[in-house]
Amino acid sequence: MTFDLFDALPADPDTPPAVEPLGPGAVVLRGFARDMGPALLQAVAEVSASSPFRHLITPGGLRMSVAMTNCGERGWVSDRTGYRYDPLDPDTGRPWPGMPGAFSTLALDAADAAGYPGFAPDACLINRYLPGTRLSLHQDRDELDLRAPIVSVSLGLPAIFLWGGLRRADRPARVRLAHGDVVVWGGPSRLVFHGIAPLAAGDHALTGSERINLTFRKTR
Protein backbone atom coordinates (compact mmCIF):
# COMPACT_ATOMS: atom_id res chain seq x y z
CA MET A 1 0.00 0.00 0.00
CA THR A 2 1.90 3.05 -1.22
CA PHE A 3 0.77 6.34 -2.68
CA ASP A 4 2.60 9.40 -3.96
CA LEU A 5 0.33 12.31 -3.15
CA PHE A 6 3.01 14.89 -2.38
CA ASP A 7 3.92 15.53 -6.01
CA ALA A 8 0.24 15.69 -6.94
CA LEU A 9 -0.61 18.56 -4.61
CA PRO A 10 -1.42 21.97 -6.12
CA ALA A 11 1.27 24.62 -5.93
CA ASP A 12 -0.81 26.59 -3.43
CA PRO A 13 -1.42 24.39 -0.36
CA ASP A 14 -4.26 26.68 0.79
CA THR A 15 -6.49 25.76 -2.16
CA PRO A 16 -6.57 21.97 -2.54
CA PRO A 17 -9.77 19.91 -2.67
CA ALA A 18 -11.64 19.78 0.65
CA VAL A 19 -11.33 15.99 0.95
CA GLU A 20 -8.29 14.09 -0.29
CA PRO A 21 -8.25 10.28 -0.05
CA LEU A 22 -5.20 8.56 1.39
CA GLY A 23 -6.36 4.96 1.26
CA PRO A 24 -9.28 2.76 2.35
CA GLY A 25 -10.94 4.52 5.28
CA ALA A 26 -8.38 7.34 5.35
CA VAL A 27 -8.65 10.97 4.18
CA VAL A 28 -7.11 14.41 4.55
CA LEU A 29 -9.68 17.12 5.29
CA ARG A 30 -7.93 20.17 3.87
CA GLY A 31 -8.26 23.31 5.97
CA PHE A 32 -10.96 21.73 8.12
CA ALA A 33 -9.64 23.29 11.37
CA ARG A 34 -8.09 26.46 9.91
CA ASP A 35 -10.66 28.88 11.30
CA MET A 36 -10.43 27.29 14.75
CA GLY A 37 -6.66 27.79 14.95
CA PRO A 38 -6.55 30.60 17.54
CA ALA A 39 -9.06 28.89 19.85
CA LEU A 40 -7.29 25.53 19.58
CA LEU A 41 -3.88 27.05 20.29
CA GLN A 42 -5.26 28.94 23.30
CA ALA A 43 -6.58 25.63 24.63
CA VAL A 44 -3.16 24.04 24.05
CA ALA A 45 -1.57 26.81 26.12
CA GLU A 46 -4.01 26.19 28.94
CA VAL A 47 -3.41 22.43 28.90
CA SER A 48 0.37 22.83 28.87
CA ALA A 49 0.24 25.31 31.76
CA SER A 50 -1.17 22.48 33.89
CA SER A 51 0.71 19.53 32.33
CA PRO A 52 3.86 20.96 30.68
CA PHE A 53 5.40 19.64 27.50
CA ARG A 54 8.11 17.06 28.07
CA HIS A 55 10.40 14.78 26.05
CA LEU A 56 9.46 11.18 26.78
CA ILE A 57 11.93 8.30 26.97
CA THR A 58 11.35 5.20 24.86
CA PRO A 59 11.55 1.70 26.37
CA GLY A 60 14.96 1.45 24.70
CA GLY A 61 16.20 4.53 26.57
CA LEU A 62 16.08 7.03 23.70
CA ARG A 63 14.82 10.58 24.21
CA MET A 64 12.03 11.55 21.80
CA SER A 65 12.81 14.72 19.85
CA VAL A 66 9.15 15.77 19.83
CA ALA A 67 7.83 17.32 23.04
CA MET A 68 4.47 16.02 24.25
CA THR A 69 1.64 16.50 26.69
CA ASN A 70 -1.93 15.17 26.91
CA CYS A 71 -5.47 16.03 27.89
CA GLY A 72 -8.59 13.97 28.43
CA GLU A 73 -9.38 11.01 30.65
CA ARG A 74 -6.07 9.33 29.82
CA GLY A 75 -2.71 10.33 28.44
CA TRP A 76 -0.19 8.40 26.37
CA VAL A 77 3.15 7.99 28.12
CA SER A 78 6.40 6.20 27.47
CA ASP A 79 9.31 5.22 29.69
CA ARG A 80 11.68 2.31 30.15
CA THR A 81 8.77 0.10 31.26
CA GLY A 82 6.92 0.53 27.96
CA TYR A 83 4.16 2.47 26.17
CA ARG A 84 0.77 2.87 27.85
CA TYR A 85 -2.18 5.11 28.64
CA ASP A 86 -2.35 6.47 32.17
CA PRO A 87 -5.09 8.52 33.88
CA LEU A 88 -2.40 10.42 35.81
CA ASP A 89 0.34 12.70 34.52
CA PRO A 90 3.52 11.02 35.82
CA ASP A 91 5.28 14.39 36.02
CA THR A 92 2.66 16.03 38.27
CA GLY A 93 0.92 13.04 39.87
CA ARG A 94 -2.42 14.65 39.01
CA PRO A 95 -5.07 13.71 36.44
CA TRP A 96 -4.45 15.10 32.98
CA PRO A 97 -6.31 18.34 32.18
CA GLY A 98 -9.83 17.77 30.91
CA MET A 99 -10.34 17.82 27.17
CA PRO A 100 -11.39 21.32 26.04
CA GLY A 101 -14.83 21.55 24.46
CA ALA A 102 -13.33 22.90 21.22
CA PHE A 103 -11.18 19.77 20.97
CA SER A 104 -14.08 17.36 21.46
CA THR A 105 -16.27 19.20 18.96
CA LEU A 106 -13.54 19.28 16.31
CA ALA A 107 -12.72 15.58 16.73
CA LEU A 108 -16.39 14.60 16.47
CA ASP A 109 -17.03 16.81 13.42
CA ALA A 110 -13.89 15.71 11.58
CA ALA A 111 -14.56 12.02 12.19
CA ASP A 112 -18.14 12.46 11.01
CA ALA A 113 -16.96 14.22 7.83
CA ALA A 114 -14.63 11.28 7.17
CA GLY A 115 -17.38 8.70 7.61
CA TYR A 116 -16.93 7.80 11.28
CA PRO A 117 -20.00 9.18 13.09
CA GLY A 118 -20.24 9.31 16.87
CA PHE A 119 -16.49 9.44 17.58
CA ALA A 120 -15.94 10.16 21.28
CA PRO A 121 -12.20 10.36 22.04
CA ASP A 122 -11.04 10.05 25.63
CA ALA A 123 -7.44 11.11 24.96
CA CYS A 124 -5.72 13.85 22.99
CA LEU A 125 -1.97 13.69 22.49
CA ILE A 126 -0.45 17.12 21.89
CA ASN A 127 2.91 17.12 20.09
CA ARG A 128 5.17 20.15 19.68
CA TYR A 129 7.64 20.08 16.79
CA LEU A 130 10.58 22.42 16.28
CA PRO A 131 12.69 22.56 13.10
CA GLY A 132 14.61 19.31 12.70
CA THR A 133 12.32 17.22 14.91
CA ARG A 134 10.65 14.16 13.44
CA LEU A 135 8.45 11.22 14.29
CA SER A 136 9.57 7.85 12.97
CA LEU A 137 7.18 5.43 11.28
CA HIS A 138 4.94 3.73 13.82
CA GLN A 139 1.48 2.25 14.32
CA ASP A 140 -1.10 3.52 16.83
CA ARG A 141 -1.87 0.21 18.48
CA ASP A 142 -1.87 0.84 22.24
CA GLU A 143 -5.65 1.35 22.24
CA LEU A 144 -7.83 -1.53 23.43
CA ASP A 145 -10.54 -0.93 20.81
CA LEU A 146 -9.18 -0.49 17.29
CA ARG A 147 -12.59 0.09 15.73
CA ALA A 148 -12.48 3.84 16.44
CA PRO A 149 -10.54 6.09 14.03
CA ILE A 150 -7.57 8.34 14.68
CA VAL A 151 -8.10 12.08 14.14
CA SER A 152 -4.91 14.15 13.70
CA VAL A 153 -4.94 17.97 13.46
CA SER A 154 -2.04 20.07 12.12
CA LEU A 155 -1.47 23.60 13.44
CA GLY A 156 1.31 26.04 12.61
CA LEU A 157 4.25 25.21 10.36
CA PRO A 158 3.61 22.81 7.46
CA ALA A 159 4.94 19.28 7.72
CA ILE A 160 5.50 16.25 5.52
CA PHE A 161 3.28 13.42 6.71
CA LEU A 162 4.66 9.97 5.96
CA TRP A 163 1.84 7.58 5.10
CA GLY A 164 3.03 4.02 4.74
CA GLY A 165 1.41 0.62 4.65
CA LEU A 166 0.60 -2.21 7.01
CA ARG A 167 4.26 -3.26 7.06
CA ARG A 168 7.06 -1.05 8.34
CA ALA A 169 9.03 -1.84 5.18
CA ASP A 170 6.34 -0.38 2.88
CA ARG A 171 7.57 2.80 1.21
CA PRO A 172 5.58 5.75 2.58
CA ALA A 173 3.95 8.48 0.56
CA ARG A 174 4.96 12.06 1.39
CA VAL A 175 1.87 14.19 2.03
CA ARG A 176 2.21 17.91 2.75
CA LEU A 177 0.06 19.04 5.67
CA ALA A 178 -0.66 22.74 6.17
CA HIS A 179 -2.14 24.66 9.09
CA GLY A 180 -5.71 23.47 9.72
CA ASP A 181 -5.46 20.20 7.79
CA VAL A 182 -6.97 17.17 9.54
CA VAL A 183 -6.10 13.55 8.77
CA VAL A 184 -8.60 10.84 9.74
CA TRP A 185 -7.92 7.15 9.36
CA GLY A 186 -9.59 3.94 10.52
CA GLY A 187 -11.08 0.71 9.25
CA PRO A 188 -8.69 -1.07 6.85
CA SER A 189 -6.11 1.71 7.38
CA ARG A 190 -6.31 1.83 11.18
CA LEU A 191 -2.90 0.20 11.66
CA VAL A 192 -1.06 1.86 8.78
CA PHE A 193 2.50 2.94 9.65
CA HIS A 194 2.86 6.72 9.63
CA GLY A 195 5.20 9.46 10.81
CA ILE A 196 6.50 12.99 10.25
CA ALA A 197 9.64 13.86 8.26
CA PRO A 198 12.13 16.27 9.90
CA LEU A 199 10.34 19.62 10.20
CA ALA A 200 11.65 22.38 7.95
CA ALA A 201 12.45 25.76 9.47
CA GLY A 202 9.89 28.51 9.00
CA ASP A 203 7.72 31.09 10.67
CA HIS A 204 3.97 30.89 11.14
CA ALA A 205 1.75 33.81 12.15
CA LEU A 206 0.16 31.85 15.01
CA THR A 207 2.90 29.49 16.20
CA GLY A 208 6.18 31.11 15.15
CA SER A 209 8.81 28.41 14.55
CA GLU A 210 6.65 25.57 15.87
CA ARG A 211 4.20 22.99 14.63
CA ILE A 212 1.52 21.68 16.99
CA ASN A 213 -0.25 18.40 16.35
CA LEU A 214 -3.40 17.20 18.12
CA THR A 215 -4.07 13.46 17.90
CA PHE A 216 -7.45 12.25 19.18
CA ARG A 217 -7.92 8.63 20.18
CA LYS A 218 -10.45 6.41 21.89
CA THR A 219 -8.31 4.30 24.17
CA ARG A 220 -10.91 1.73 25.26
Domain-embedded: residue 89: yes
Domain-embedded: residue 175: yes
Gap between the Cα atoms of 15 and 10, Å rounded: 7
Average pLDDT of span 8-34 = 77
Helix and strand counts by DSSP (H, E) for the chain: 2, 13
Q: Which residues pair with 214 in a beta bridge?
A: 126, 153
Domain-embedded: residue 150: yes
Looking up residue 109, the CATH number of its domain turns out to be 2.60.120.590
Domain-embedded: residue 97: yes
Domain-embedded: residue 1: no
Average pLDDT of span 30-51 = 98
pLDDT confidence of residue 153: 98
List, for residues 21-31, the tens digit of each pLDDT value.
999 999 999 99
pLDDT bracket for residue 145 (50, 70, 90): confident
Domain-embedded: residue 204: yes
Domain-embedded: residue 58: yes
- How many domains does the structure of the chain reveal? 1
Domain-embedded: residue 160: yes
Judge whether residue 11 has pLDDT over 60: no
Query: What residues make up the domain containing 139?
Result: 6-217
Provide the angle, in degrees to the nearest 10, between the axes of the packed helices 37-50 and 101-113: 130
**Long-range contact set of residues 100-106: C-beta below 8 Å, sequence gap at least 24:** 100/43, 100/46, 100/47, 100/71, 102/36, 102/39, 102/40, 102/43, 103/40, 103/43, 103/71, 103/214, 103/216, 106/33, 106/36, 106/40, 106/151, 106/153, 106/182, 106/214
Average pLDDT of span 63-91 = 97
